[in-house]
Amino acid sequence: VWENCLKIIKDNVPAQSFKTWFEPIKALKLDTNVLTIQVPSVFFYEWLEEHYVSLLRKTIKHQLGSDGRLEYNIVMDKSSGSKNPYTVNYPTNNNGELKNQPVPMPVNINESIKNPFVIPGLKKLNIDPQLNAKYSFDNFVEGECNRLARSAGFAVAQKPGGTSFNPLFIYGGAGLGKTHLAQAIGSSVKTMYPDKLVLYVQAEKFGQQFVDSLKNNTINDFVNFYQLIDVLVVDDVQFFSGKEKMQDIFFTIFNHLHTSGKQIIMTCDKAPKDLVGLEERLLSRFKWGLSADLQVPDIETRVSILQMKMKADGIQLPQDVIEYVAHNIDNNIRELEGALISLLAHSTLNRKEIDLPLAKQMLKNFIKHSTKEISMEYIQKFVCEYFEIPLEMVKSKTRKREIVQARQISMYLAKNHTKASLKTIGQFYGGRDHSTVIYACQTVEDLIDTDKKFKNWVQDIQKKLKMS
Ligand code: ADP
Ligand code: MG
């Protein structure tokens, strides 16, 4: 089809123009009445639209009927060849139907061009959004730790550019879901507004493209390309720290997009206020919209995440194994997933059901890496479960014997197994002062020496605490 089009075009434009503007075009695919062509740059695309739109339209209609449409793909950085992220690699098939096309008729190109940029049904630009289907809102587990960021992201996805969350700045530590959430926003926009140009890019990749464009003298193409985007997601913007030229170019693009009401979403491993090496004018823009953080997930969220992943993979693990994993890997969701995957791999390889002892054995290395010291919360929970008393009781004023005992044991364990000061421990256990903690520890030590049953309790708890 495109070859037929070219024939018509050739008859209607000067030879030199044909060579410059039409020969470099590559036909990519034909879907019933939509022909997709690839052009070398944004500038190229705009030039075609400006100067040849009428000719193109007529040619396409002539070849594909009155519903015929043309879509463009733009090549971004030529240097990376077939790995070019901005071209969808469609097979360039010239299927047999072409032979049956009618003989080209002369096309009258003298019809005046009224508004080259608004031709409904003809112009459509495609860019591969670089989104990964595995990240969606559906499989992003909601918890206290991500509620604000998630709901802001959701709002942005519903109305990109139309909320006050522009830019949306998502920050948090490694493995807490920044990329997942940012990608989910992009995908969700694409589903709801297929015609919007969405682009996900890692800041590092953006930087590489920028450097390449400097080298190849194509900086205008680079900027023009980014300024076309409707929803731009830039992942890990801390990469821009200390890179002034890159920040300048990003500043230009940012301003252009923001002024045109386009949506910008950024992720970062730090809060804007903690970002160093970033120009003040850029930083202040980062704060224009909404900054929302992703925090370390609490135990319930960690369990939900594991359960969700298992369900997605159609597998099951015993509840105590899940809880063990969730308890022990507590500050990185990527590691949480990693533990699950390695458990499954082991069990498949060894054809063994995973029970708790096996899980502990297999995750030894994982957990040594990621556990922090035992927390006072954990001790409290542990001791209360052991004595089967309500969690909040140990912090209360009650002087009931078994509660006092549990409280004193908790304080003793906190002193011996955490780095917390006596003052902090006292504060934690119901706002008591440090002398109460000293007294508690002394009491426990005395009882260990004199009361065999008590000694067994404490040893038992300590052993279990260490094992967990
Ligand atoms: P970051 O970009 O912050 O380093 P990622 O987005 O790459 O983290 O997340 C690490 C892994 O954890 C990914 O596989 C992601 O799918 C998963 N993950 C993170 N947060 C959640 C969540 N709330 N629900 C489900 N999976 C999550
Ligand atoms: Mg990431």
- Here the tokens at position 20 are 């410059």
Any domain includes 139:
no
Indicate if ligand 1 lies below 6 Å from the C-beta of 1.
Answer: no
Residue 176 Cα to ligand 1 middle (Å):
5
Indicate if ligand 1 lies below 6 Å from the C-beta of 333.
Answer: yes
Closest ligand by atom to 296 CA: 1
Judge if 359 and 403 occupy the same domain. no
Judge if 209 and 336 occupy the same domain. no
Judge if 308 and 283 occupy the same domain. no
ipTM for the predicted complex comes to: 0.99
Q: Where are the alpha helices (DSSP H) in 111-228?
A: 147-158, 178-192, 203-215, 219-227
Evaluate the CA torsion angle 373, 376, 382, 387 in order and state its sign. Answer: positive
Closest ligand by atom to 235 CA: 2
3-state secondary structure of 30: strand
Residue 430 Cα to ligand 1 middle (Å):
36
Phi, psi of 153 (to 5 degrees): -60, -40
Whether the per-residue pLDDT at 340 is higher than 80: the answer is yes
Judge if 384 and 289 occupy the same domain. no
Average pLDDT over residues 54-80: 78
- How high is the mean pLDDT of the chain? 85
For residue 234, what are the β-bridge partners? 201, 266
Can you give the residue range of the structural domain that contains 110? 2-126
Q: Which of 90, 192, 86, 89 is nearest to 136 (CA)?
A: 192
Last residue of a domain, one of 260, 294, 328: 294
239-287: pLDDT as tens digits = 999 999 999 999 999 999 999 999 999 999 999 989 999 999 999 999 9
Any domain includes 132:
no
Judge if 45 and 183 occupy the same domain. no
pTM of the entire predicted model: 0.65
Residue 178 Cα to ligand 2 middle (Å):
5
Residues tagged in the binding site annotation for ATP = 175, 177-179
Q: Give the pLDDT band of residue 99 (cuts 50, 70, 90).
A: very low
Whether the per-residue pLDDT at 426 is higher than 70: the answer is yes
Are 271 and 171 contacting, i.e. CB atoms less than 8 angstroms apart?
yes
Question: Residues in the chain, how many?
Answer: 468
Whether the per-residue pLDDT at 114 is higher than 90: the answer is no
Give the integer Cα–Cα distance in Å for 46 and 68.
Answer: 20
Indicate if ligand 1 lies below 6 Å from the C-beta of 270.
Answer: no
Q: Which of 172, 306, 310 is nearest to 235 (CA)?
A: 172
Average pLDDT over residues 378-399: 89
Average pLDDT over residues 142-147: 95
CATH for 217: 3.40.50.300
Indicate if ligand 1 lies below 6 Å from the C-beta of 179.
Answer: yes
Place of tokens 């957990």: 367
User: Of 50-64, 149-163, 216-230, which range is least confident?
Assistant: 50-64
Last residue of a domain, one of 77, 100, 126: 126
Q: How many domains does the chain have?
A: 4
Query: Cα dist. 178→140, 221, 301, 332 in Å?
Result: 11, 29, 16, 12
Q: Give the pLDDT band of residue 107 (cuts 50, 70, 90).
A: very low
CATH for 52: 3.30.300.180
The amino acid at residue 25 is: I
Phi, psi of 118 (to 5 degrees): -120, 90
| Residue 54 burial (CB count, 10 A) | 19
Instruction: Write the CB contacts of 19 (distance below 8 Å, at least 6 apart in sequence).
Output: none
Q: Give the pLDDT band of residue 120 (cuts 50, 70, 90).
A: very low
15-34: pLDDT as tens digits = 888 888 898 899 988 888 88
Last residue of a domain, one of 325, 354, 370: 370
Evaluate the CA torsion angle 196, 202, 207, 208 in order and state its sign. Answer: negative
Query: Cα dist. 34→41, 421, 464 in Å?
Result: 20, 71, 67
Judge if 59 and 80 occupy the same domain. yes
Pairing mode, strands 290-294 and 168-172: parallel
Q: Which of 418, 462, 107 is nearest to 454 (CA)?
A: 462
Mutate to test the pocket of ligand 1, among 148, 305, 333, 340 (most ligand atoms within 8 A of CB): 333
Judge if 342 and 415 occupy the same domain. no
Protein residue closest via CA to atom 6 of ligand 1: 177
Are 258 and 289 contacting, i.e. CB atoms less than 8 angstroms apart?
no
Helical packing angle, 401-417 and 376-387, nearest 10°: 140
Give the integer Cα–Cα distance in Å for 250 and 248.
Answer: 5
State residue 161's pLDDT score.
Answer: 96
Any domain includes 95:
yes
Whether the per-residue pLDDT at 81 is higher than 50: the answer is no
Whether the per-residue pLDDT at 179 is higher than 90: the answer is yes
Judge if 247 and 310 occupy the same domain. no
Indicate if ligand 1 lies below 6 Å from the C-beta of 174.
Answer: yes
Give the integer Cα–Cα distance in Å for 171 and 238.
Answer: 10
Count the alpha carbons within 13 Å of 446 in the hemisphere toward its beta carbon.
8
Whether the per-residue pLDDT at 231 is higher than 60: the answer is yes
Whether the per-residue pLDDT at 364 is higher than 60: the answer is yes
Mutate to test the pocket of ligand 1, among 181, 334, 340 (most ligand atoms within 8 A of CB): 334
State residue 203's pLDDT score.
Answer: 97
289-322: pLDDT as tens digits = 999 999 999 989 999 999 999 998 888 889 999 9
Residues tagged in the binding site annotation = 175, 177-179
Pairing mode, strands 34-39 and 168-172: unpaired
CA angle 264, 169, 222 (to 5 degrees): 35
